[in-house]
């Protein structure tokens, strides 16, 4: 197994240590490996979802802008 050294702010390290102290994870490495596994699964799920969503269409920025402005106006009217 490879070793990877990373730098992080103290508050992130404290968060990881708190997660490990709950007993759910055996170590910081175990916690980080679990995060990476979940991220890989989510990335794969999103890629499959994109592939199954149909044929891609060109992006029409003018239409997108109009739809965004209409949504904003509806939000203000509520």
Q: Are 59 and 65 in contact (CB under 8 A)?
A: no
| Non-local CB neighbours of 32 within 8 Å, separated by 6+ positions | 16
All residue ranges of the chain with pLDDT < 50 are: 77-78
Q: Check residue 68 and report its DSSP letter.
A: H
pLDDT at 48: 96
**pLDDT for the residue numbered 76:** 61
The pLDDT value given to residue 78: 41
Cβ contact 28:12 at 8 Å: no
Give me the pLDDT at residue 65, please. Answer: 93
Residues 6+ apart with CB under 8 A from 26: 20
């Amino acid at each position: 197994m490879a070793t990877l050294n990373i730098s992080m702010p103290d508050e992130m390290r404290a968060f990881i240590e708190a997660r490990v102290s709950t007993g759910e994870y055996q170590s910081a490495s175990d916690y980080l490996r679990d995060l990476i596994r979940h991220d890989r699964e989510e990335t794969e799920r999103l890629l499959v979802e994109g592939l199954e969503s149909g044929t891609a269409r060109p992006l029409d920025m003018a239409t997108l802008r109009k739809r965004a402005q209409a949504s904003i106006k509806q939000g203000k009217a509520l």
